[in-house]
Structure 1
Amino acid sequence: MGVKVKGVSQAKQKLDALLGEVQGRKVGRAIKSALFIIGADAATMTPIDTSYLVNSQYQELLVNGTRVTGRVGYSANYAVYVHEASGKLKGRPRANGSGNHWDPSGEPKFLEKAFKDNADKVSAIIRKELSL
C-alpha cells in the first residue's frame, strides 16, 4: 500500500535555499552587526590624544570553512600597550602639564569592556538576524 507524495523535491530545494541563505547572508550580517556595536562602544572608551589609535580601528569578518568569526582590532603599533595599561594614572595630570592621563573618557582594557558590556546586545542581535 504505497502512497504518492508530491512536492518532496521542491520542499528539499526550498530547504536547501533557506540553509544557503542562513549560511551565506544571515550569518555574515549578524556578525557584522555585532562587530559594529562592539567597535562603536570600544571607540568611546579608547583614549584619545592624537586620534590615531581610535582611527586605526578595524573590523573584519573571517570565514574558514563553516566557521564564521569576527574581529575588532586596532592597527596602531602601540594599541596593545594602551589596551593592557593598568590605568592607575587615570585622571591624574601628566608630568608635562598637557592634560590628564586617560582623559576624557578613556578606559584601560577598552576592547574587553566593550565586549562584556554588550554581550547581551550581541546575543540578541545574532538571535534576531538568524531567526527564520
Structure 2
Amino acid sequence: MGVKIKGIKEAQRRLDAVVEDARTRKAVRAIKSAVMIIANEAALMTPVDTSTLINSQYQETMINGTRITGRIGYSANYAVYVHNASGIMKGLPRPNNRGNYWDPAGEPKFLTKAADKTRRQVDEIIRKEMML
C-alpha cells in the first residue's frame, strides 16, 4: 500500500524558481564585481590633467531579458579623443609650464588595456560569484 503525496510538482516548480532567482542575482553581482575591477584599473591608467576625465567615470549594469551587460564609460565630452590618442606626447612638457601632456601613469587606450590586464581577475571573480 503506497502513500499518496500531493504538491510534489508545485514544490519542484518553486525550488526551480528559487534556484533561478539565486542564479540571476549571482550573475548580476558577478558582472558588477567584474565592472568594478576593470573600472579601478582603468582609473589608474586614465591620464589626469584637471581630474575632469577621471571624475566623469561611470559604471552601469543593465538587464535585458536573459542578457546582463556591464558598462564602464566616461561622460567628459573629450573622453573618446583621450582614449584613442596615440600617446606620443606622453611626458612632454606643455607650453607655459602647465605640466606634462600625459602624466606618468596615463596610458592611451586606457579602457581597453585595463580590460585586457584584468582578464584573469575578472574570470576568477565571475567563477567565484557564480558558484552555488
SS in 2 for 1:104: coil
SS in 2 for 1:96: helix
Unmatched 5+ stretches in structure 2: none
SS in 1 for 2:113: helix
CA distance in 2, matches of 1:60, 1:130: 20
Matching residue of 1:122: 122
Residue 103 of structure 1 aligns to which amino acid in structure 2? D
CA distance in 2, matches of 1:68, 1:58: 17
Residue 13 of structure 1 aligns to which amino acid in structure 2? R
Task: Work out whether 1:72 is the aligned partner of 2:72.
Answer: yes
1:51-130 matches, within 5 Å, as: 51-130=51-130
Residue 46 of structure 1 aligns to which amino acid in structure 2? T
CA distance in 2, matches of 1:96, 1:81: 23
CA distance in 1, matches of 2:19, 2:108: 43
Report runs of 4+ in structure 1 exceeding 3 Å deviation.
Answer: 4-9
Task: Work out whether 1:10 is the aligned partner of 2:11.
Answer: yes
CA distance in 1, matches of 2:81, 2:30: 30
Unmatched 5+ stretches in structure 1: none
Q: What whole-Å deviation, never above 9, does each CA across 1:61-87 have from its counterpart, x for those lacking one?
A: 011111000000000000000000000
- TM-score normalized by the length of structure 2: 0.89
SS in 2 for 1:60: strand
SS in 2 for 1:72: strand
Evaluate the alpha carbon distance shift between residue 33 and residue 88 of structure 1 in structure 2; reply closer, same or farther with a 3 A threshold: same
Tell me the CA shift for residue 94 of structure 1: 1.7
Tell me the CA shift for residue 98 of structure 1: 1.6
